Amino acid sequence: MYIRLRRDVAMIRIYQVGKSLHPRHVFRISRASRVQVDNVFLVLAQGEVIGYGEASPNSFFHEDPADVEMTLAGLADYFRRQTLSEAVDIARIWSEVEKLVAPSRACLCAVDIALWDLYAKLRGRTTAECAIGRLAVPVPTSATLGLCDAVEWPERIAELAGFPAIKVKADAKADTGLLEAIRARDSAALRVDANCSWSGMDIPALSARLAGLGVEFIEQPLPPAEDAAMEAVLRESRLPILADESCAVPEDIERLPGRFSGFNIKLVKCGGITPALAMLRRGKALNLKVMIGCMLESSLLIAAGCVVAQEADYADLDGSWLLRDDPFTGLGLLGGAITPGRGFGLGVSPRPEAD
């Protein structure tokens, strides 16, 4: 249910609501299977203008939807005292809210995205124009294929037609059968995400096999606790290796050179567009490859990710495509590229039935 606060035109008002979303297929990775995610949606309103935010809390990062909802509701008094006038207000509010909701980055993400959406609408511009100084262009994205039984492969592979890249989830078996089946039917670039499941494996040898199948890179082969071993692994690997779980916030980037070739930014991990842009720029300064990724998310969070992806090397922003009940509309998907929504802000809006 929504929480409605005072309607002062000069102040920011806050509402928040949780909503269950469902993937079109059971979404399986090495450590979990999901038939439902409980995302938290936030509305910040100033005058008659509203900005939308979203968090997709993930248990790996010790985030719980109920806690996120409760924490966001606790920001009501803070936002009664806020007015959004200039872009610097976003950075100031982000820093102040960071202290109020710590350690939750999911809460920060919902707040930050809503602020950028609201600010751009107040200015009569798109979020991309306000955040990076130019209009967003279509962003080619990979499509994710989770762990699945061989009997499912033909149908699932057929759904991927037209995407320029396919990210395949792997587990401790490191079986290449699905990759071989995809390569026999599709010429798209391949990427493999182990989600920390390859402890004890000969990763350099496996990388050679994957390179032979045309795989571009490996994502997060070992758990963060084994990051120290990654220097030797990367040195011997035939493929670039990107960090995901090992890189959540800006401070993590300094530990990556020599261990990883790049890293995956997820807005819900780092706290929104504001830190994501800082991470991207720091990564580029260190000559690291940068990918913008996602959880299972609505078009709202994907639209925010697309803003940052304008300057990234790779995009893995298929979270809303994986859903069967996306509560937002406005983004397009053509030829495996996400096309920005029309209109100010993030260019997306709630579906009428989702209100």
Q: What is the pLDDT of residues 181-230, one digit of tens each?
A: 999 999 999 999 999 999 999 999 999 999 999 999 999 999 999 999 99
Per-chain mean pLDDT for the chain: 93
168/262 Cα distance (integer angstroms): 18
298-322 confidence digits (pLDDT tens): 999 999 999 999 999 999 999 999 9
pTM above 0.75, yes or no: yes
Quote the CA–CA distance of 332 and 34 in Å, as a whole number: 25
* Average pLDDT of span 261-267: 98
- Encode pLDDT of 16-69 as tens digits: 577 899 999 989 888 888 889 999 999 999 989 999 999 999 888 889 999 999
Instruction: Report CA torsion sign: 24, 25, 28, 34.
Output: positive
Burial label for 225, CB within 10 Å (0-12, 13-18, 19+), is exposed
* Buried-exposed string 160-176: b where 16+ CB fall within 10 A, e elsewhere: beebebbbbbbeeebeb
Question: In the chain, which ranges are continuous DSSP H helix?
Answer: 65-73, 76-80, 87-101, 105-123, 127-132, 153-158, 177-185, 203-212, 230-236, 267-270, 273-285, 299-309
Q: So what's the pLDDT on residue 9?
A: 39
The set of residues, in sequence order, having a beta carbon less than 8 Å from that of 177 and lying 6+ positions away, is: 150
Q: How does pLDDT run across 153-189, given as a tens digit for each residue?
A: 999 999 999 999 999 999 999 999 999 999 999 999 9
Q: For residue 15, what pLDDT is reported?
A: 62
Here the tokens at position 26 are 């059971």
Determine the distance from the C-alpha atom of residue 28 to the mean position of all C-alpha atoms in its chain, rounded to a whole number: 17
CATH numbers and ranges of domains, the chain: 12-132 (3.30.390.10), 139-354 (3.20.20.120)
